Chains A and B, each alone.
Chain A
Amino acid sequence: MNSESMNRSSSDNKHGRINEIIEKTGSAINGGRYPLEIMNNSDLYPLELRRIFGQAWVYMGHVSEFEEPGDYARRYIGEDPFILTRDENGELHAFLDSCMHRGAQFCTAENGNTSHFRCPYHGWTYKNDGTLQGMPHMSEAYQDLDDEEITLEEACLETYRGLIFGRIAEEGPSLEAYLGDFTWYLDVLFGATEAGMTVVGEPHRWESSHDWKTSADNFSGDSYHVLTTHQAGLETETFSKDPWEELDDFPAASYLACTDRHSIGYYLSEDGETFMGYPEEITDYLNPELSAEQRELFGRSVFHFGSVFPNMSLIHGIQSGGWGGPWACIRKWNPRGPGTTETTSWWLVPKEFADDESFLSDSHRGWESLSPGGAFESDDLTIWEGISNSSGAVTHELRDTRGNMQQGMGEMTDEVDTIEDPLHGPADVTSKGLYFDERNSRTILQSWYEMMSETSKSDNDPEMEAEP
């Protein structure tokens, strides 16, 4: 940017203003503060799509949804529509839904099975490995076409424990490097049994006026909100068949584990036989690949929830109070504009239980309890929409209003203890951290800052190139 010009263009001003917001967020995090305006900001949003969703590993699907060659589903990285599919040789691909002729879209369904994709505009047809099969009048119209060169734009894909992640940027860290120490926890959540997890049925999907960062933050380890937001759900008498007993001292049994980018919280029982409330046979299915500590953690597990930056969240366990379960859930917070998110929520169970009707019935109920129809999440959504609404306030911009995530800092509490125990894996872990330590929020926001900051870029981001 040329700052010497006397006539700074409006895009220069905008550039300066955006960088100012990003940098002041970066410097506020260590003090446990952040500008409230970032949760719904039309200037930041296009940059989030480029600098975060254009660069990060983004969750796209689970291998169990793509077991047969030709299985496909429409999935998004940021707002870009991709088609995730398994080709005839068994390889997974994610193609941008955009024909290489004129850019028309050719995927008209949410999911299905097909060996070819045919563009409805002029009929260019691609195999499900992304190569060009042909087009109408190829021999008359394209006698000198290098058809080997024409392949669909394809995202980088890597999988971990059945979780498929895609990345738009061609260069970057491997998925395992990006997930870092968080893989230890993904092993427990998605690799506890030998056969692994499987997606059941179709996901819940809904669009709501909340920012993707708000829900990623909530799921990263916020139990502090439960007593207020979900008071109605907690006070409601449940009449279920198999109520899960309340833990004796709920906050004491809770832990917050943050890695450099991602964060997870969980509740453990004192004895080693909880297994998230799974039927007893679970002990026959345990995955020998897990370490002794991972197996013990799973054995004592009640409920886990966490976020993989940027927009994947996960749940695995059983809720107290008789709201069904156990179940696992993968969330994806698809950005749909500043302050707007389309959520997809998949239900997963260990493959070993996938045909057990009575188990599935309880598990569906658990999954449903955290959904737009559920007893808990309906209250979250109402509140998150309010955050989005107020975060767009001019007052926040003009007065530089700061939100607070200071729990667990300095002398703020003597309730939270640092846990040094291999049982809890390689992350930084605190007891009661889910209630009295907001490292989860600071971790997620720090990940946001590191990808958004220009100072960590070498680049020539087109959005930031001020054209005179």
Chain B
Amino acid sequence: MSSLSVTETATPVDPETQHSIEQFLYREADLLDGFELEEWLTLLDEDIQLEVPIRVARHPGSERPEFSETTNYLKEDYEMLRERVGRLEKEYAWSENPRSRIRHVIGNVRVIESTDTELTVANNQHVFRSYGDTADHDLLSAQRHTVLRRPDEDGDGFSIGHRTVYLDHTILNTKNLTLPLL
């Protein structure tokens, strides 16, 4: 896919649906920022695929894709995500001991596809991260495409069926891609 087709045509939805989608994404971001990852896992469907494709600096008009179709920083199924969450809970996970200070700012939330059972939602985000005893911080910029499954009759909210994180970086500017940064 090219960088431009990320912003596909928005599909009009009623204000109530738009509101509930935004509230869902905000709550999810809070769970990530707070490393409440066991709770975050409960939002995922078991057939989830989480992908973070590699982005490449391209010449305009290049026939090659800007986002790699074969290689990813992360390409995770549910079990792999569980492993990652389990790993981060270990005392010796040095990459997050102490925890990074992370804050998602989410905006430009648009529904780009809608069916009776699913909504595909695009959102932009800036994720701030600082770590350790330093004034430095990293900023990761991305657009996410998330397939939200609508709740069934007795369900109590959306669930996440699929997510692709399109980074605005071709060279990562942070020491690692820990789950809460996505």
A residues lining the B interface (CB < 8 Å):
108-113, 200-209, 228-229, 231-233, 235-240, 342, 347, 360, 364-365, 368, 371-373, 375, 377-379, 381-383, 385
- Nearest neighbor of A230 in chain B, beta-carbon distance: B92
Provide the residues of chain A in CB contact with B70, threshold 8 Å: 200-202, 360
B27 at the interface (CB under 8 A from A): no
By the criterion CB–CB under 8 Å, are B75 and A239 in contact?
Answer: no
CB contact list, B82-123 vs A, under 8 A: 82-84, 86-88, 90-95
- Nearest neighbor of B131 in chain A, beta-carbon distance: A382
The contact sample of 23 A-B pairs, CB cut-off 8 A, is A108-B59, A110-B57, A110-B58, A112-B62, A201-B71, A202-B54, A202-B56, A229-B94, A231-B92, A232-B93, A232-B94, A235-B90, A236-B87, A342-B171, A368-B73, A372-B174, A373-B74, A373-B176, A373-B177, A378-B178, A381-B95, A382-B94, A382-B176
> Which of these, B59, B69, B94, B172, contacts A205 with CB under 8 Å?
B172
Provide the residues of chain B in CB contact with A347, threshold 8 Å: 71
B64 at the interface (CB under 8 A from A): yes
Interface string of B50-78 (1 = CB under 8 A from A): 00101011110011100011111111000
By the criterion CB–CB under 8 Å, are A239 and B173 in contact?
Answer: no
Give the docked Cα–Cα distance between A68 and B47 (Å): 39
- Nearest neighbor of B182 in chain A, beta-carbon distance: A373
- Nearest neighbor of A241 in chain B, beta-carbon distance: B79
Q: Given A112-B58, A229-B94, does the pair A372, B72 have CB atoms closer than 8 Å?
A: no
By the criterion CB–CB under 8 Å, are A379 and B95 in contact?
Answer: yes
B residues lining the A interface (CB < 8 Å):
52, 54, 56-59, 62-64, 68-75, 79-80, 82-84, 86-88, 90-95, 170-178
Provide the residues of chain A in CB contact with B74, threshold 8 Å: 368, 373
Give the docked Cα–Cα distance between A377 and B73 (Å): 12
> Which of these, A364, A375, A382, contacts B72 with CB under 8 Å?
A364
- Nearest neighbor of B54 in chain A, beta-carbon distance: A202
By the criterion CB–CB under 8 Å, are A373 and B73 in contact?
Answer: yes
- Nearest neighbor of B57 in chain A, beta-carbon distance: A110
- Nearest neighbor of A206 in chain B, beta-carbon distance: B172
Provide the residues of chain A in CB contact with B95, threshold 8 Å: 378-379, 381-382
Provide the residues of chain B in CB contact with A113, threshold 8 Å: 63
Give the docked Cα–Cα distance between A105 and B177 (Å): 32
Provide the residues of chain B in CB contact with A229, threshold 8 Å: 94
Least CB distance, A423 to chain B, in whole angstroms = 35
Give the docked Cα–Cα distance between A110 and B73 (Å): 17
By the criterion CB–CB under 8 Å, are A111 and B80 in contact?
Answer: no
Provide the residues of chain A in CB contact with B58, threshold 8 Å: 109-110, 112
By the criterion CB–CB under 8 Å, are A379 and B54 in contact?
Answer: no
- Nearest neighbor of B58 in chain A, beta-carbon distance: A109
By the criterion CB–CB under 8 Å, are A372 and B71 in contact?
Answer: no
> Which of these, B56, B84, B92, B93, contacts A111 with CB under 8 Å?
B56
Least CB distance, B51 to chain A, in whole angstroms = 11
Give the docked Cα–Cα distance between A372 and B174 (Å): 9
> Which of these, A202, A228, A371, A375, contacts B68 with CB under 8 Å?
A202
Least CB distance, A228 to chain B, in whole angstroms = 8
Give the docked Cα–Cα distance between A238 and B86 (Å): 9
Give the docked Cα–Cα distance between A373 and B74 (Å): 6
Q: Given A110-B56, A239-B79, does the pair A379, B93 have CB atoms closer than 8 Å?
A: yes
By the criterion CB–CB under 8 Å, are B171 and A206 in contact?
Answer: yes
A204-B54, A378-B177 given; 16 more Cβ-contact pairs under 8 Å: A108-B57, A113-B63, A202-B71, A203-B54, A205-B172, A206-B174, A228-B92, A236-B86, A240-B79, A347-B71, A372-B177, A373-B74, A373-B176, A379-B92, A379-B93, A381-B95
By the criterion CB–CB under 8 Å, are A233 and B87 in contact?
Answer: yes
Give the docked Cα–Cα distance between A129 and B83 (Å): 49
Q: Given A112-B59, A237-B83, does the pair A368, B72 have CB atoms closer than 8 Å?
A: yes
